[in-house]
Amino acid sequence: MGFATALTCTQLYPHFPHLLLLLLLLNISDLHVNAQLSSSFYETSCPTVVTVVEGVVRQAIEAEARMAASLLRLHFHDCFVHGCDGPVLLDDTATVTGEKTALPNNNSIRGFEVVDEIKSAVEAVCNATVSCADILALAANASATLVGGPSWTVLLGRRDATNPASIAEVTAALPNPNSDMPTIIGRFAAVGLNVEDTVALSGGHTIGQARCVSFSARLYNFSGTGAPDPAIDADFLASLQSTCPQGGDANVLRPLDATTADTFDVGYYSNLQSNRGLLQSDQELTSDANTAPLTAPQGEIRLNCHVVNSA
Ligand code: HEM
Q: What is the pLDDT of residue 177?
A: 96
Catalytic residue among 15, 32, 75, 77: 77
For residue 167, how far is its CA from the centre of ligand 1 (angstroms)? Answer: 18
Q: Which of 50-54, 181-185, 192-196 has the lowest mean pLDDT?
A: 192-196
Is residue 114 within 8 A of residue 139, CB to CB? The reply is yes
What percent of the chain shows pLDDT beyond 70?
Answer: 84
Specify the fold of 31-173.
Peroxidase; domain 1 (1.10.520)
For residue 128, how far is its CA from the centre of ligand 1 (angstroms)? Answer: 31
pLDDT bin (cut points 50, 70, 90) of residue 28 is low
Average pLDDT of every residue of the chain: 86
Is residue 133 within 8 A of residue 158, CB to CB? The reply is yes
Coil/strand/helix, residue 208:
coil
Q: Where are the domains of the chain?
A: 31-173, 181-286
Is 77 an annotated catalytic residue?
yes
- The answer on pLDDT for 120 being more than 90 is yes
pLDDT bin (cut points 50, 70, 90) of residue 96 is confident
Residue 228 annotated as lining a ligand binding site: no
Phi, then psi, of 178 in degrees rounded to 5: -100, 10
pLDDT bin (cut points 50, 70, 90) of residue 9 is very low
- The answer on pLDDT for 182 being more than 80 is yes
Can you give 95-151 as a three-state secondary structure string? CCCCCCCCCCCCCCCCCHHHHHHHHHHHHHHCCCCCCHHHHHHHHHHHHHHHCCCCC
pLDDT bin (cut points 50, 70, 90) of residue 163 is confident
What percent of the chain shows pLDDT beyond 90?
Answer: 66
CA dist 309 → 4, 115, 306 (Å): 37, 59, 10
Instruction: Count CB atoms within 10 A of the CB of residue 188.
Output: 21
**Superfamily for the 181-286 domain:** Peroxidase, domain 2 (1.10.420.10)
- Residue 220's H or E segment, with its range, is helix 217-220
Give the Cα-Cα-Cα angle 243, 247, 249 (nearest 5 degrees).
55
